Structure 1
Amino acid sequence: MWKWKSIGALGTFAGSTYFVADSRLVHAKSSPEQADYISMPPGMTTRTHLQPAFDTHGAIRGEGMARPELAEMQLRHVQVFFRHGARTPLRILTWMDQPEWPKDKILGDPPLPAVTYTTTDVHGQLVPSGPYEAMYQKIIFKGGTPAGQLTKTGKEQVYELGRRIRGDYIEKRHLIAPTFNASEVYVRSTNMMRTIESARWLLSGIFGHNKRGDKIIIHTEPAEREILYPNHSFCRQLKLFNKKLFKELDASIPGLREDRAQLQRLLGTPLLTQHSSARLSFLVCPLHFSFRIQRGG
């Protein structure tokens, strides 16, 4: 019997979960046909039963035994999930004064050891650059920086997260090898350069140059098969749901209409619309780099 064991957050944009096993755990359902399963990543052939094995008092169902300690369990799987590091805005908003984004200062690699990698889909086939990346390369800010790109600061952020993971999982707990081992570590990213590069710099923080490790493959999927972000372009039901949601926001969330009106007055523009994420992105990204935001009329 498998059981989830959460170990909490690794940072403001990352978390992880252990899979642990103990011989005393029993299935909470009576037969495999009744159980709920989830497929494991490539390389793990066991299918995992996620039905809770404990009752509300911590006893194992059907056995009347106390909850086993983590030290008595065997680690089987760890999942680490995280967002990309700091990025440039996603689009140009003509209603705002445009700050400069000097390409030579904003982009480029930090002076840190970095791994080399290749990308394939989850079946080992090559994946062309996704449609979002082509769109971002057509949006150029003052200073020559394209939209939606992982910044030098963003690379340093995920590198530091990788260093923390190395300290916890390699140096302290000795859970994985100090160099990349493809049978131990599986990497999955969306097909955007800012997320692929975030995966690269996380791995760089964990494994350094990785000169003696296995070849690193970062697995992605083409846009029509992607499930790691809300894929409105290829999921009609999700698109319809979001359209309905935005129509009902004012009525369903108390105070939202008033907050939107106040922000509109301060910024001199409508804010909370279907494209509000892009507007907020353009506000937050410059503030992160200490650019000034002009107050609306």
Structure 2
Amino acid sequence: MFSSNFQRLMLGAGGLLATGTSVQVVNRENGPYTLENGRRRLNLDGYELKMVQVLVRHGARTPIHTIKHVPEVEYDARQFLTDVPHTSCSYVVRGIDGGERPFSKYDGYYKNRYLKGGALRGQLTQCGQDQMYIKGRQLRREYVDEMGLIDAQYSPQQVFVRSTNINRTILTARCVLVGLFGRENLNKLEDPLVIHVEKSECDPLVPRTAVCRTLRQINHAAMIHGGDIPGIKEDRWRVEQCLGITEPDHPKKHKINFIDIRDDLVARETHGLHGVKCLDSMRREIELNASKVMYYSFCGQHEAWRDLAMQLSTGPLVKMLTDNIDNMNENKTKLYIFSCHDSTLVGLLGTLDVYDFTWPPFGSDVRFELYENRRGQKFVRVSYNGKDVTIRGCTHVLCPLEEFKAAMQSYAIDESQFKKICDSNILEVIAKEMLEQEKDEEEDEETSERSDVPAGM
């Protein structure tokens, strides 16, 4: 445990950081379940669904990264990127304040980055459009047909749609809404469907490494040096040898990144294109190592950074989600749809303590459902890709609202707190504390002996 200097700095920055959280793979399934046709189902008798917040990763896209020294596959723009008619409708994109859509720096970056075949990198494909249309149909079945949470016809008073300010997530939101309400119904609206976005430097739906120095340092430590982590490093050497781009005797300069390799391979696999033969035998290692580096990038590679990283990656998002629950009676919204990214979900799953080191597939979703029982007590149910999860600080799947909010309090931060921590020297303080702790341990000759002696002896 670090000294009071570290804790004072966090409190001074407005944080309520809970230090010392360990990484866990959680598979808790306790809660009020019943058996139905041999399957365990959550018993919701006596509970009324009041509100749902859905965070969905965009659908399948063209690769952002391609593997160096490997021939590219072709992504014909006409074949992959044209609109699928049954997923399209009339819509407008507006700022979160209702004004004009802000300029997208990300799309500005992508606009001239072409793949072989003419398609741009990082764009939602026809496959992705269909995926997200199906996701919308699923939401309709659950929240219109089965639970009656919202009306069958779209109502902006009941449904709020927000996306990151990137074309693939905006189109994802469109496809989900068409699946949810139907193309013809949406095209008949007196006012066009609105998808809200925010400037990237202010957007809680994405980890903001570009504007947060502290988070950028954490992110770069994993992205740049993650390939040197024992276990990952040896796999990196094997991949580099396979691709013929380095020698294990000279491993200092990284030629590959597991996240980049995975990105290219998954895009190929998803769209039925040929893979990279020499990597077939290492596909599992590539997937696992990429998932680890992604987690370390947004949840911290070192345990001492972990809660801080989660707070900066997802704190404003967690604050927004809890605020929406608190303001439920005031704003009347029953269904929130947030279109975002794998980085969003990885950070959030880490904060919830349910990340299992499996990369969130295209179209993955995390849902926060708010229920109320006959006594007026409220509960939060969290699910990931259709499976109920018991998050940190909660003892059951149906988590009492106050218990849920208490668990999230250490991570939820507003914009002013976010900026204070981003501008602080907190990582330097942590590093100094770690060095002092290690020095004390080295100088204490009895440390190793005492560790083997039972307490009280």
Matching residue's letter, 2:210: S
Cα separation, 1, equivalents of 2:31 and 2:141: 34
**Structure 2 residue aligned with 1:287:** 269
Cα separation, 2, equivalents of 1:274 and 1:241: 20
Cα separation, 1, equivalents of 2:157 and 2:96: 15
Match of 1:155 among 115, 129, 132: 129
User: Kindly tell me: are residues 171 and 240 of structure 1, through their superposed partners in 2, closer, same or farther at Cα, counting changes over 3 Å?
Assistant: same
Hey, which bits of structure 1, 4+ residues long, moved more than 6 A?
Answer: 270-274
* 8 Å contact from structure 1 (residues 92, 141) kept in 2: no
Structure with the larger RCO, 1 or 2 (CA within 8 Å, 6+ apart): 2
Kindly state the Cα deviation for residue 206 of structure 1 after the two structures are TM-superposed.
0.4
Match of 2:241 among 265, 276, 279: 265
Cα separation, 2, equivalents of 1:188 and 1:269: 42
User: Kindly tell me: are residues 283 and 268 of structure 1, through their superposed partners in 2, closer, same or farther at Cα, counting changes over 3 Å?
Assistant: farther
Cα separation, 2, equivalents of 1:247 and 1:195: 27
**Structure 1 residue aligned with 2:155:** 181
Match of 2:103 among 117, 122, 129: 129
Cα separation, 2, equivalents of 1:202 and 1:176: 15
1:228 aligns with 2:202: no
Kindly state the Cα deviation for residue 92 of structure 1 after the two structures are TM-superposed.
4.9
**Structure 1 residue aligned with 2:217:** 240
User: Kindly tell me: are residues 256 and 94 of structure 1, through their superposed partners in 2, closer, same or farther at Cα, counting changes over 3 Å?
Assistant: closer
Mapping of residues 58-207 of structure 1, within 5 Å: 70-112=44-86, 114-207=88-181
1:216 aligns with 2:190: no
User: Kindly tell me: are residues 236 and 113 of structure 1, through their superposed partners in 2, closer, same or farther at Cα, counting changes over 3 Å?
Assistant: closer
RMSD between aligned residues: 2.9
Q: Which secondary structure does the structure 1 equivalent of 2:52 belong to? A: strand
More off after superposition, 270-279 vs 201-210: 270-279
User: Kindly tell me: are residues 140 and 172 of structure 1, through their superposed partners in 2, closer, same or farther at Cα, counting changes over 3 Å?
Assistant: same
Kindly state the Cα deviation for residue 203 of structure 1 after the two structures are TM-superposed.
0.3
Q: TM-score, normalised by structure 2?
A: 0.46
* 8 Å contact from structure 2 (residues 245, 255) kept in 1: no
* 8 Å contact from structure 1 (residues 88, 151) kept in 2: yes
Kindly state the Cα deviation for residue 138 of structure 1 after the two structures are TM-superposed.
0.7
* 8 Å contact from structure 2 (residues 163, 197) kept in 1: yes
Q: Which secondary structure does the structure 2 equivalent of 1:71 belong to? A: coil
Q: Which has the higher helix share?
A: 2
* 8 Å contact from structure 1 (residues 99, 291) kept in 2: yes
Cα separation, 2, equivalents of 1:160 and 1:202: 7
Cα separation, 2, equivalents of 1:113 and 1:250: 40
* 8 Å contact from structure 1 (residues 137, 146) kept in 2: yes
Q: Which secondary structure does the structure 1 equivalent of 2:93 belong to? A: strand
* 8 Å contact from structure 2 (residues 87, 133) kept in 1: no
Cα separation, 2, equivalents of 1:221 and 1:141: 28
Q: Which secondary structure does the structure 2 equivalent of 1:135 belong to? A: helix
Cα separation, 2, equivalents of 1:259 and 1:91: 19
Kindly state the Cα deviation for residue 161 of structure 1 after the two structures are TM-superposed.
0.8
Q: Which secondary structure does the structure 1 equivalent of 2:85 belong to? A: coil
Q: Deviations over 1:219-241 (max 9, x none)?
A: 11112112212221111111111
Aligned-residue identity in percent: 31
Cα separation, 2, equivalents of 1:233 and 1:173: 41
Kindly state the Cα deviation for residue 278 of structure 1 after the two structures are TM-superposed.
2.8
Structure 1, unmatched stretches of 5+, are 1-35, 37-55, 59-68
Kindly state the Cα deviation for residue 248 of structure 1 after the two structures are TM-superposed.
5.8
* 8 Å contact from structure 2 (residues 114, 121) kept in 1: yes
Q: How many residues align?
A: 232
* 8 Å contact from structure 2 (residues 106, 166) kept in 1: yes
Matching residue's letter, 1:293: G
User: Kindly tell me: are residues 289 and 180 of structure 1, through their superposed partners in 2, closer, same or farther at Cα, counting changes over 3 Å?
Assistant: same
**Structure 1 residue aligned with 2:249:** none
Kindly state the Cα deviation for residue 201 of structure 1 after the two structures are TM-superposed.
0.1
Q: Which secondary structure does the structure 2 equivalent of 1:279 belong to? A: helix
Q: Which secondary structure does the structure 1 equivalent of 2:51 belong to? A: strand
Matching residue's letter, 2:142: D
* 8 Å contact from structure 1 (residues 115, 203) kept in 2: no
Q: Which secondary structure does the structure 2 equivalent of 1:120 belong to? A: strand
Cα separation, 2, equivalents of 1:113 and 1:133: 21
Cα separation, 2, equivalents of 1:103 and 1:250: 34
Structure 2, unmatched stretches of 5+, are 1-15, 17-29, 33-42, 247-252, 280-457
User: Kindly tell me: are residues 162 and 273 of structure 1, through their superposed partners in 2, closer, same or farther at Cα, counting changes over 3 Å?
Assistant: farther
More off after superposition, 261-270 vs 164-173: 261-270
Cα separation, 2, equivalents of 1:57 and 1:85: 32
Q: Deviations over 1:52-89 (max 9, x none)?
A: xxxx999xxxxxxxxxx743333321111110000001
Kindly state the Cα deviation for residue 156 of structure 1 after the two structures are TM-superposed.
0.1
